[in-house]
Structure 1
Amino acid sequence: MRQSLKKTVLVFAAVFLAAIGSDSFAAIKKEPAGKKSMTVTATAYNSVKGQTDDDPWVAAWNNRLRPGDKIIAVSRDLEKHGLTNGAKVRIEGLPGTFTVRDRMNKRFKNRIDVWMEKDVRKARQWGKKKLKIIWHHDK
């Protein structure tokens, strides 16, 4: 009886590990080379007085924001992962590609801010969400 139990446990463990391992390897293979992804807190901001510095149309790296641009600001801790000025980012649930052009106050961590021009109502309706972002990373 004891041998039978050991054999059953070993077979179960092998099947379980094979199932987990194959899923993990499949997920890694599906990820294109040079791409990174992570889940972040996503909020929104506007080019209006009180939400920006002196000129609400100039971002942190002196980029001029223009209506129609798809822009995000990133928390500074994300910069070490390649999310710096000019990085291209896809955001789960949003169409198109966004460009990192702004950075957030250093008190924020693991966060992006989606630029919604001057539409404060739209930004408030957006609220705060957890979303997956995907970007190309050369390192």
Structure 2
Amino acid sequence: MKNFTLKISALIFLLLILSCDEKDSPEMKCMEVKASAYNSLGNQTRIGTNGKITAWGDTLNPNVPSVAISRDLIDSGMVHGTMIYIEGFNEPFKVNDKMNRRYKKKIDLHLGTDVQAARDFGNQKLNICFEVPEIKAKIATASN
């Protein structure tokens, strides 16, 4: 069953990537990023938040797949609240945290308090796709 789910996930992701190349879909953007994982623990998050509050002030919810992004990705249209599709995952992740300015073209998946899962995830290069908010898409189209 796990193999079947992984194949379906890969198929959905492939369809998303293919839609990025279509001329009638300028609002979808795909890219390769570095990826790691973090936990809701005080030593892995913003100081004084007990690991539950993001840099944007959201409260992390273990039932909502969440991701922190490097700040340079904000300029790509991946703003607070954007849903991103990550290679190998069935559900989209919500952008609700941002990373230290020293990181570039990187995402950090929130994996609750499961430290071992974050360690097992390690560091990877993954493809992601996200829909650029309508205003950003219009600005990008107008400037081209």
**Aligned pair partner of 2:91 in 80, 96, 100:** 96
- Deviation at residue 118 of structure 1 after TM alignment: 0.5
- Deviation at residue 32 of structure 1 after TM alignment: 3.1
When normalised by structure 2's length, the TM-score is 0.74
Structure 1 runs of 4+ with >4 Å offset: none
Q: Partners of 2:34 and 2:78 in 1: how far apart?
A: 15
Q: Which runs of 5+ in 2 are unaligned?
A: 1-18, 137-144
**Aligned-pair identity (%):** 38
When normalised by structure 1's length, the TM-score is 0.77
- Deviation at residue 82 of structure 1 after TM alignment: 1.2
- Deviation at residue 30 of structure 1 after TM alignment: 7.4
Question: Which runs of structure 2 are paired with 1:1-139 in the superposition (5 Å)?
Answer: 28-29=21-22, 32-53=25-46, 54-55=48-49, 56-137=51-132, 138=134, 139=136
Q: Partners of 2:111 and 2:20 in 1: how far apart?
A: 33
> Structure 1 residues 89 and 31 mapped into 2: Cα distance closer, same or farther (>3 Å)?
farther
RMSD: 1.7
Instruction: Name the larger-Rg structure.
Output: 1
User: Secondary structure, in 3 states, of the residue corresponding to 2:93?
Assistant: strand
Count of matched residue positions in the alignment of Structure 1 and Structure 2 = 114
Q: Partners of 1:94 and 1:67 in 2: how far apart?
A: 16
